[in-house]
Amino acid sequence: MIVEQFGVEDWMDRYEEGARYNITDTCAKPLTLNEFFTLSGEDKQDFMETFFQREQTYGPIWGDRGLKEEISHLYEHISPDDILTEHGATGGNQHIFFS
């Protein structure tokens, strides 16, 4: 397949890194892990102790119940059973397109 050059992406590749204020992106500034811990208030050492004891599996097929409970607390009339988690925006967009 021959794909045409995407002019906007080419322009961003050339200029976005040196921009004083980058207003070209469609995403948020990525955070460091230290910034995440500061925002969450969670103790890094406690987190790491728990994390290193965790088995490395695919995880719950229908999503992590604890995560769904935390997300549902952001809304007044939503239960964890109403939450569908995905591995990223691409998976989420796929659900939207097929619904």
Instruction: Please report, for the chain, the start and end positions of each structural domain, with discontinuous segments joined by +.
Output: 14-98
Average pLDDT, 10 consecutive residues per value, the chain (99 residues): 81 83 75 93 95 90 93 96 88 84
d(CA 32, CA 87): 20
Nearest to 10 by CA among 23, 24, 20, 27: 24
Q: What is the mean pLDDT of the chain?
A: 88
Q: pLDDT tens digits for 54-77? A: 999 888 888 999 999 999 999 999
Q: Which pTM value belongs to this model?
A: 0.52
